[in-house]
Amino acid sequence: GPRGACLATPLLDGSLRLGEELEALFRPKRWADWLFVPGTVVAVEPARSLLGKKEYLYFNVAPIYKGGGGPRFLTFKKYLSGIDFLQTVPGGKSVPKPLHSSYSELPSWMNEHLNHSGFTFVKKNKFVLDGLSIGIEVCLDHAIGTLAAQEDHNVQLQLIVSAGMSIARGPVVIPQGGAVFLTDGFGRTEFSSNMFGHGLQSVRRHHSVLYDTGPVKWSGLHSSLQQWLGLVV
């Protein structure tokens, strides 16, 4: 297809050292009170169907790091979007465009490998860190409401990692006065406190469904980078 993904096996066997390099960046004690979600990694793994036909398993995973050498987590995106895949380069290997609406389930061998790599799997879009209950969604999962669909979706902090998403386009599950943050690869950062407590209620505006999140504060990539540099330099 016109867009591609990393092969899963090199990511797991260490020939691609992305995870180690990211961990080294966040290990210094100066980041001990920070939580990092450095985007997502899209991966593909060749497989065989029951009939022997060659197929591909597709995955989209966000690594989560507590700075200062703290815990590490992995959360997997559920719903597939056409903009998830990297642009291929001339002469590069490519795989067929996925035809499914959801990402693949992890095969048992990959599940076992990741469990022994020091990462903790995020289950049902929730994890606990330092006593804080955190919900996380990747892009389209927020618009579809994967966290809100969980039987127990009560969290103290809601995180959205995306490219082309906004807080109001999906349900907000935090209690009134809580915190939901969105960081977007297209250059927009958003914050809402669910001021009126109606974040699970949707309204229709201009042929789109939006959620009553109350006021949303935002900043562009340039100003966010300036603020970050002012804090750490």
> Contact, 175 vs 53, CB < 8 A?
no
Give tens-digit pLDDT for 35-59: 999 988 888 888 765 556 678 888 8
- Which residues, including other chains, have CB under 8 Å from residue 55's CB and lie 6 or more apart? 46, 47, 48, 49
- Which pLDDT belongs to residue 171? 98
Distance of CA 134 to the CA centre of its chain: 13
Evaluate whether 160 touches 135 at the Cβ level (below 8 Å): no
Read off the pLDDT of residues 71-106 as tens digits, 9 standing for 90 and up: 999 999 999 887 777 666 666 666 666 767 788 777
Q: Which of 142, 183, 168 is nearest to 36 (CA)?
A: 183
Q: What is the pLDDT of residues 105-135, one digit of tens each?
A: 777 767 776 777 788 889 999 999 999 999 9
Which band of pLDDT confidence, cut at 50, 70 and 90, is reported for residue 66?
A: very high
Express as a percent the part of the chain with pLDDT over 90: 49
Tokens representing 20 are: 């180690």
Query: Among residues of the chain, what percentage have pLDDT more than 70?
Result: 77
